[in-house]
Amino acid sequence: MKKTVADNALQRIKEEIRTDAEVARARASQSVRRGSAPASLGQIAPPRERYEIDELSNAHFVDFIEHAYAALFRRTPDSAGFAEQVRLLETGRSKIEILGNLRFSGEGRAIGVRVPWLLPRYLLAKATRVPVLGYAIEWLMCVGGLPRLLHHQRAADAFHAARIHELKNEFRGIVDQLEMFREDLARLERERTGVNLQLEQVSDRFPRVHSEVASAFNEIRDLRHLVLSMNHWLASLRQNLATLEAAEGEQLRKRDPLYSEIFEQSRLADHARAPRLQQWASDFADMLPPKAEVLDIGSGLDWLQFLTARGLKVTGVNTSNDVGERARGVGIVIAVAEPSVVLARLADQAMDAVSILDFPALLRSLAAPTLLQNLRRVLRPDGKLMLGVGPESATIIDALEGRAAAPMSIELIELTLSVSGFVEIKRINAPGGMHCIFASLPR
């Protein structure tokens, strides 16, 4: 299975290479560019098959051994072999003998580098190792080689003299360097003294800094204590506020159905309300396109139902949970929330119309400039606004909570609308001091 996967991968790569090949072919036919040439290596010669003895024996000591390995074995010396050859040199064996040892070893024979005249000289060198006879041979070689030895001696003297001269020069260079080092050392010593002085000054300042730090630490500790106390006090305050809010919430929950019931009773007692609202709803719907999207703020369930019956897509906003539940019960979309929050979340130009049956009551929680600014934003061009003014639900609540009824002039509302940019402002008067104002946004 694994192999099949690998085969498939290779096959896929080959298919991709076919495509690459076509691209490369096209590219090459369209341009004259070429890959640049690499650096030239010159002629790479095959390894040398022949060396002269002098070539191999000219180098000294370690260089000699490394060169012999490179020439005869075509490799660098291994550590054991290298150590052995060094040992032989140090015990006075001749270079010829070492060259012969390497050349006529198994490895040397297998590689077969030719070194003319090495074999007889190697044998002669080996013969000097034979007891008694070897001694005689060595004597003969020494006597016979005396002129050559003298020649070597002179050459060696010259070599060593030159070497000593070089060493003297090198020594002088080292002495000069030492002098420079000595000067550097003196300079460093001077710098060290300066640094020590600075350290002493810092040490003198340290107790004072330490005392300041300790003082600051004490202040921080006191401050921390104060912060902790304040934190404790704030926590207590938060707890008390939460208790008060819970109590108020409970009161509101109890008040909500009560107000709702009173409002319903009041509404039932007002026999003119239903025909009045039906007429307003009809007039309002006539101003709007079919299935227009209407936002209603704070009106009762009956008004929402009248609008829905006219084929409008109504979304209500009310602060009463009770109204919200009942509206949802008859299939009307309604948000139980503060009108200011809902208006803030609505997108620009989201609605065709807005209705507010109890406009003065809404002004208690939302000032007219802010409300009208929001309404202008959420209404589409030519969007319609319906405002009711009269003793409706909120006004009843004001009365129940002992608040004085806010005196509101209908002319003032119309003037406010006009100043806020609304046009086609139209008033409908109803019996009982009820008024309805229709207005539009410019197209």
Instruction: Give residues in contact with another protein (CB under 8 A).
Output: 3, 6-7, 9-10, 13-14, 16-18, 20-25, 27-28, 33-41, 44, 46-47, 74-76, 106, 109-110, 112
Which residue reads 């260089």 in tokens? 63
CA distance 384 to 380: 9
Distances (CA, A) of 199 to 187, 191, 224: 18, 12, 35
Between CA 260 and CA 267 the distance in angstroms is 10
Beta pairing class for 313-318 and 333-336: parallel
Q: Backbone dihedral region of 132: left (phi > 0), alpha (psi from -120 to 50 degrees) or beta?
A: left
36 or 198, CB closer to another protein?
36
Q: Is 436 left (phi over 0), alpha (psi -120 to 50) or beta?
A: beta
Residue 163 beta carbon to another protein: minimum distance, rounded to whole angstroms: 30
The Cα 440–Cα 422 span in angstroms is 5
d(CA 195, CA 218): 34
CB-nearer residue toward another protein: 14 or 271: 14
* Rounded-to-integer distance, Cα 312 and Cα 305, Å: 10
Could you tell me the smallest distance in angstroms from the CB atom of residue 161 to another protein?
A: 36
Nearest distance from C-beta of residue 43 to another protein, angstroms: 8
Shortest spacing between CB 115 and another protein, in angstroms: 17
The smaller minimum CB distance to another protein, of residues 47 and 381, is found at 47
Residue 397 to residue 320: CA distance in whole angstroms: 12
Which one, 69 or 438, has the nearer CB to another protein? 69
Q: Are 383 and 354 in contact (CB under 8 A)?
A: yes
Tokens of 330: 């008859």
Comparison of 14 and 208: residue with beta carbon closer to another protein: 14
Q: State which residue, 105 or 305, has the beta carbon closest to another protein.
A: 105
Minimum CB separation from another protein for residue 114, in Å? 13
Alpha helices in 91-117 (DSSP H): 95-103, 106-111
CA distances 276 to 56, 306, 314, 430, Å, are 128, 11, 19, 7
Pick between residue 25 and residue 151 the one whose CB is nearest to another protein. 25
To another protein, the closest distance from the beta carbon of 335 in angstroms equals: 57
**Token pair of 248 as six digits:** 């108020």
CB of 21 or CB of 246, closer to another protein? 21
Q: Could you tell me the smallest distance in angstroms from the CB atom of residue 202 to another protein?
A: 54
Closest CB 79 distance from another protein, rounded Å: 13
The DSSP element (H or E) to which 387 belongs, if any, is strand 379-389
Say whether 428 sits in a helix, a strand or coil.
strand
In the complex, minimum distance from the CB of residue 18 to another protein, in angstroms, rounded to a whole number: 7
CB 430 within 8 A of CB 436: yes
Residue 109 sits at the vertex; the CA angle it makes with 106 and 115, to the nearest 5 degrees, is 135
Nearer to another protein, 12 or 165 (CB): 12
